[in-house]
Amino acid sequence: MVFSSILIKSGIGEILFTPLWYIMKFILHLDRKMFSIFLLSQIGGYPVGVKLLSELKDAGKEYSKEYNTALCYCYNSGPAFVVGIVGIGIYGDVKAGLIVFLSCVAANFTAAVITNVRNKPQSGGDIQFSLSVKDFSACLTDAAKALMNIALAILLFNATTELIGYIISNLTGYELPDIVKAIAEVTNIKNGVTVYSLPVVTALISFGGLCVIYQLYILAAFKINVVRFILTRSAIAIISALFCFIIVGISGYEPSIATFAYATDTVITDPLLLLCVAGMTLVLLKDTEKKF
């Protein structure tokens, strides 16, 4: 996140991506800065897109009508997360993670093309290069605050999900479905006992989960149309699953049966303990924010 912010604030990202932008501007219809944000959001992790778009708003850039639209496709899990959680964590194979990641990127690219198809190809404009110690320090501080909020959101959603599952289990005798846990918090996709097909996993990763969407809401410097975002990401998730299905069909890739056994580890947690930890973390973060 810090690296991405520095690249955009300094103008280095625009310089690095200019050769590719000259080709893609006729397809994506994005200007140089927005194109840089789009690329970085595909590899930086879910919150990177909203963080970079928020920095544009804080800088007074004229993108006010585009923030919510751009956020819908400037949103992706990083390759390290996908390969680690999906590839190695679920299927025990890096190839599975790479297929999921490429499918999600392809779906976002498709969404960007469709969304901007009526726009005219954008001109490059002048690149303003500036790199100072003050900017670097500001990026570090902003990233630290963002990471604390992200950590708290993950903790709260995991605690809430576990508590709801605990209550349902005791009242009805049925466990909360793994897919519901994954939709609530995407990292739960590894903790369940159910192993879904690769296209289904791709759709879940592409959607990101309610926890990630909440993270966007608290990190954004602009008002997010949450309903529109959820509906759009649901459609993009379906597109990503279709891309995955096509890639798997062409490549003939199939996870082995032995791999599935590895993926059935579950994490046993005490929901009340998690809620207590979440509460203490919230108090700590509030005190920390006052010092910044």
**Which of 1-5, 54-58, 116-120, 192-196 is predicted most confidently?**
116-120
Structure tokens at 159: 């605690």
- Do 240 and 107 meet the contact criterion of CB atoms below 8 Å apart? yes
- Do 256 and 214 meet the contact criterion of CB atoms below 8 Å apart? no
Q: How many CA atoms lie within 13 A of 182 on its CB side?
A: 21
pLDDT score, position 258: 38
Structure tokens at 120: 């005219």
Give Cβ neighbours of residue 233 (< 8 Å, ≥ 6 apart).
72, 75, 206, 207, 208, 213
| Rounded-to-integer distance, Cα 76 and Cα 199, Å | 16
By percentage, how much of the chain surpasses pLDDT 90?
31
**Which of 5-14, 43-52, 282-291 is predicted most confidently?**
43-52
Mean pLDDT, the chain, whole residue set: 80
Q: Is 64 helix (H, G, I), strand (E, B) or coil?
A: coil
- In this prediction, residues 57-80 reach a mean pLDDT of 81
Residue ranges of alpha helices (H) inside the chain are: 2-10, 12-28, 32-44, 46-58, 67-73, 79-81, 94-115, 133-172, 178-184, 198-207, 210-219, 226-251, 257-262, 271-291
Structure tokens at 168: 């349902």
- What's the predicted TM-score (pTM) here? 0.81
Q: Which residue has the higher pLDDT, 266 or 29?
A: 29
Q: Would the pLDDT of 267 be above 50?
A: no
- Do 174 and 164 meet the contact criterion of CB atoms below 8 Å apart? no
Least confident of 74-83, 86-95, 126-135, 170-179: 126-135
| Rounded-to-integer distance, Cα 54 and Cα 52, Å | 5
Q: Would the pLDDT of 226 be above 60?
A: yes
Instruction: Please tell me the total number of residues recorded for the chain in this structure.
Output: 292
pLDDT single digits (tens) 200-223 = 999 999 999 999 999 998 888 888
| Rounded-to-integer distance, Cα 10 and Cα 20, Å | 19
pLDDT score, position 278: 52
Q: Which residue has the higher pLDDT, 224 or 8?
A: 224
